[in-house]
Structure 1
């Protein structure tokens, strides 16, 4: 089993919301994907600041941690909504593929006239950085953060 170094961190491109955690930061999104939970922003908004911080800080790497994290998220959402969050049937985890740059990252780089990444640059990024680029490449409303993230990760 590969051991990934996923530590709690917030990226500079998230600075406009990390002081109040009004949006779901990448570290939490990564952990939610790890336990296959789709947390709606409306449900996230109902959580206390302390609960949001806990979701960023709690371990979610090994199978028992992933299971515990998922139970905790489910309990929190149930507490505020009386419903459980959706379960993701499958995760397209192209950020874990280090031999080839995912198509959505290449396309978003072209869209924003960012330099095309080399496979070596992609491979040398931390897992959470690759995750962020894939998510920013897929997402319409956050796409403007893609070039900012590329710059932050030393790719421009």
Structure 2
């Protein structure tokens, strides 16, 4: 079974997350949501089955603990012999605010030469989708995954005829 068939990966990240070398968005979301810092080096130090286990947890958008935190703590202790670093999540993070599209996302629309989404569209997106678009636009440079994410989320249409 292929990774994307058993894990909640976005289509735009399948190639980048092959063999889970990079941290998938669902894991990044859960880390930020629950307030844990986890470096790429730490992620890559975990065996593949441990990375698959963490990537298999659903996004915790409803605020209910899904078991992700206890599993993260167990795996980090078991394989890295340490406790994962905790921080206090910011409830005012850009992806939490539904009233205004973050400037970084508006900049990304400009960089890819697309008209920006409307505030109504932004506010109608799930917390996870707002998180993903915010993360993809955070650096202020054109992100090659931004347009594929927009396509996947149904926010733009391909020019290929139906």
Report the TM-score when normalising by structure 1. Answer: 0.79
1:137 aligned residue: 137
Deviation at 1:61, TM superposition (A): 5.3
Q: Where do 5+ consecutive residues of structure 1 fail to align? A: 1-7
- Return the index of the structure with the highest Cα Rg: 2
Structure with bigger RCO (C-alpha 8 Å, 6+ apart): 1
Cα deviations across residues 25-58 of structure 1 (Å, max 9, x unaligned)?
A: 1111111111100110111112222222221223
Conservation of the 8 A alpha-carbon contact between 1:136 and 1:142: no
CA distance in structure 1 between the aligned counterparts of 2:21 and 2:63, rounded to whole angstroms: 28
Q: Give the number of the structure whose residues are more often helix, by fraction.
A: 1
Q: How many residues align?
A: 148
Q: Where do 5+ consecutive residues of structure 2 fail to align? A: 1-6, 157-162
Conservation of the 8 A alpha-carbon contact between 2:46 and 2:80: no
Counting only pairs closer than 5 Å after superposition, residues 1-156 of structure 1 correspond to structure 2 as: 9-58=8-57, 60=60, 65=65, 68-91=67-90, 93-139=93-139, 143-156=143-156
